[in-house]
Amino acid sequence: MSNLRSHAVTIIPGDGVGPEVALATQRILDAAAARAGVAFDWEEAEAGASVFLKGDQTGVPQATRDSIDRTRVALKGPLETPVGFGEKSANVTLRKLFETYANVRPARELPGIPSRYKGEGVDMIVVRENIEDLYGGIEHLQAHDVAQALKIITRKGSEKVIRFAYEMALREGRKKVTIASKANILKFTEGMFKNIGEELAPEYAPIEANHLIIDNVAHQMVKDPAQFDVIVATNLHGDIISDLASGLIGGLGFASSANYGDGVAIFEAVHGSAPKYAGKNVINPTALVLSATMMLRHIGELDLADQVEDAVLTTLEEGKALPQDVVRQKGGDVEAAVSTTGFTEAVIENLGRKPTSVPAAASRPRPSAQNPHKRWPDGEARRAEVGPATVIGIDIFAETLMSPAEFGTKLAALAGPEFELRIVSARGTVVWPKMSPAFDHPGFFRSRFVARDKSKVVTDEALFALIARVTGVATWFHLEKLRSWNGEEGFTRAQGE
């Protein structure tokens, strides 16, 4: 009977260059594991383009889901997803299927890798909310030329990822967490995220917490990136600024990533499938190898993670065996670059060695990426806390080419004794009763009806009757009840309202 410590891991080679970087990473991990009395039980699984081609529109077959459900940990090469058409991203599907709500992307200066910020001490982590926001992919064509996407932000989802960021900062000996949002414009969605970050901050002293508008975060990352420690952001913003962060330290070829949930973790390179390089044995596997070190720490193999990371750092530091993208950045002749296989073998040869120009991996705090397992408020408790909702009106979105004046006048006459037409807006700007100075007709309007008598309960029957009357004037395609809690309106005003 073997005395090896064994870990079952789902390996998803992926598309394009994915199988090459996945194989390189497996070889390095297996070589390091053999030295340490560890073994990996790799369960190979499919996702992405190959699955789409078989007619599975999810991109993630049941066999892959079952494997991850068994192993609870997956290492994944890049997956290809059509841009602007076709099926949903298999990457996003995997994250959402297993509720991996925290996406963690470190960006730390690496030895031997040129960048504009070399020597400035760039060492940050972007924590991106991974489940909600516009990445819900809830989109509709409201008219032939009018598209809508719903941005979903929840208190529970925001609190989970922000707590994760604070907890990680504590474990890693970090000093500051920056909450990044667009709360100056999106008052309810991004505003909720910002407010929760600030509400939780006192629980995590001595971590310094601050808030920056996401525009300023991008500006400051380029101006003075070393000021950042941990940044936590909503899904779309986190996706964008984490790619920006990778550009500060040499590019996507070095950008590692981990997706953490309550029970499952998925580790992947940030870069794409790069199909034009597939099968040429030239791709840099560093990003996935460094992602694998995050996986090793997650499963408790801290020494093994340090050894693999140090071998990568030593290889980059020495500069004797560098992939094409690194040689190109250094201004060298790419003919002198090593292949993917050659770089892999160099890293394996350097197992057991430590870099000299940067601290060895073991000199840094050794974090556990486990979820802090806070108790999130259940729905009933939250409802009791905020009180019941009161319906005070409705927004009706309708398709029409009528002028704002004609449309508003007709709807105002249909409001009836229970409602008044407060405004008509186009793309969030009031166009009736006062016309916008520079109005360009988009082909649809939002009409806001509110109760005339605030003391009376607005019933669904009254709303249905109003909708039926509006239907006689224009084709409606979207409805939103206007609600308030304890007298506070649960909807934003239009520009100019």
Query: What positions carry a catalytic annotation?
Result: 135, 182, 215, 239
Distance CA 131, CA 143 (A): 28
Distance CA 235, CA 151 (A): 10
In order of 128, 374, 423, 455, 463, the CA distances from 242 in angstroms are 8, 26, 40, 49, 45
Q: Give CA angle at 300 (78, 293), nearest 5°.
A: 35
Distance CA 385, CA 104 (A): 32
Distance CA 28, CA 25 (A): 5
Distance CA 397, CA 408 (A): 13
Nearest CA among 438, 355, 431 for reference residue 400: 431
Q: Residues 6 or more apart from 293 whose CB is under 8 A from it?
A: 256, 305, 306, 308, 309, 312, 361
Segment (H or E) for 130: none
Segment (H or E) for 395: strand 389-399
Which sign, positive or negative, has the C-alpha torsion 128, 288, 175, 245?
Answer: negative
DSSP string, 137-173: --EEEEETTEEEE--B--HHHHHHHHHHHHHHHHHTT
Specify burial of residue 63 (Cβ count, 10 A radius: 0-12, 13-18, 19+): exposed
